[in-house]
Amino acid sequence: MSSSISLYNWRVYPSLRKSYPAGTLLLHVFQTAGRILLYRSQPPPGSTLFLPQRVFWYCPEDIHGIALSPSALYRTRDQSWMENDEFTCLLDQTKEVFYRGPGKGIYYAGTFKCAYTGKLPTSDFRNLPAGVKEELIRTSFSAPEIHNIRTRDERAQLRKLYCDGERKVSFLALQCVGFNQKLYDAFLAVGQLREAEQKPSVSIGKRRRKGEMDSKRAAKMIRDERARSETEVTGDEPIV
């Protein structure tokens, strides 16, 4: 397989084509990115890949998408660079891939194999959407220091280094190998529940009161369970 690639005709969002082994990829899960952290069971932790604004899609015979990452990370403390191994450690692994789609929703794309890595041509970096370039520049910093004035100046310098080809962007080639229907159904259920909770017909006050009632009910259950445990140990009736 080639370790070079061009983003010509690549898409920000997947297009539905027969050569996708998994079939339909545009399956909307839910709108809030934070809810992605709530799923617990399958697949096991660490088997997901979610890179907002850093995944592109296409459909040649063997590769269906690529993820982008800075080849090196910049340390503002001593103004030095260190190698970024974000993608090399993923080679040959299988991941459940999510991406940010239209309306900032989170979409499940399917099960993908991390096939190979390479360097993105400088000309392709220049042609990336502005938001994608800014996200790559932001993730080029090894520490979350992007909000201070000094780092804003350094971001402008980094942008020039990338555009001039002095700094490179790595890509990870993604090959679709399946679709985890069970995972998709679980996320869809979470999304439907959230939509039901946010129906306009239910006022904020009612939702707040319902949340308070649920909290009080849960607290009472904990107290009752604690009282039962104490009764089992001491043989006495709990003091109310």
Write down the pLDDT at residue 45. Answer: 46
pLDDT < 70 stretches in the chain: 1-46, 58-61, 102-104, 143-150, 191-240
Same-domain status, 67 and 181? yes
In a domain? residue 19: no
* pLDDT of res. 32: 33
Q: Looking at the domain assignment, is residue 227 inside a domain? A: yes
- Residue 230 structural domain: 203-240
Do 174 and 211 share a domain, yes or no? no
Write the CA distances from 190 to 29, 193, 195, 203, integer angstroms.
Answer: 8, 5, 9, 21
Which pTM value belongs to this model?
Answer: 0.62
The predicted structure's pLDDT at residue 168: 94
User: Is 16 part of a structural domain of the chain?
Assistant: no
Percent of the chain at pLDDT exceeding 90: 11
Token pair of 162 as six digits: 């990338």
Beta-carbon contacts of 177 under 8 Å, excluding residues fewer than 6 positions away, are: 21, 22, 94, 111, 112, 113
pLDDT reported for residue 209: 56
| pLDDT of amino acid 194 | 65
Beta-carbon contacts of residue 105 (< 8 Å; ≥ 6 apart): 28, 29, 30, 31
Give yes or no: residues 60 and 178 share one domain. yes
Query: In terms of Cα–Cα distance, which of 81, 86, 96, 98 is closest to 26?
Result: 98
Rounded Cα gap, residues 96 and 198, in angstroms:
28
Q: Do 184 and 102 have their domain in common?
A: yes
Distance CA 148, CA 96 (A): 35
pLDDT tens-digit profile of 188-207? 777 666 666 666 655 555 55
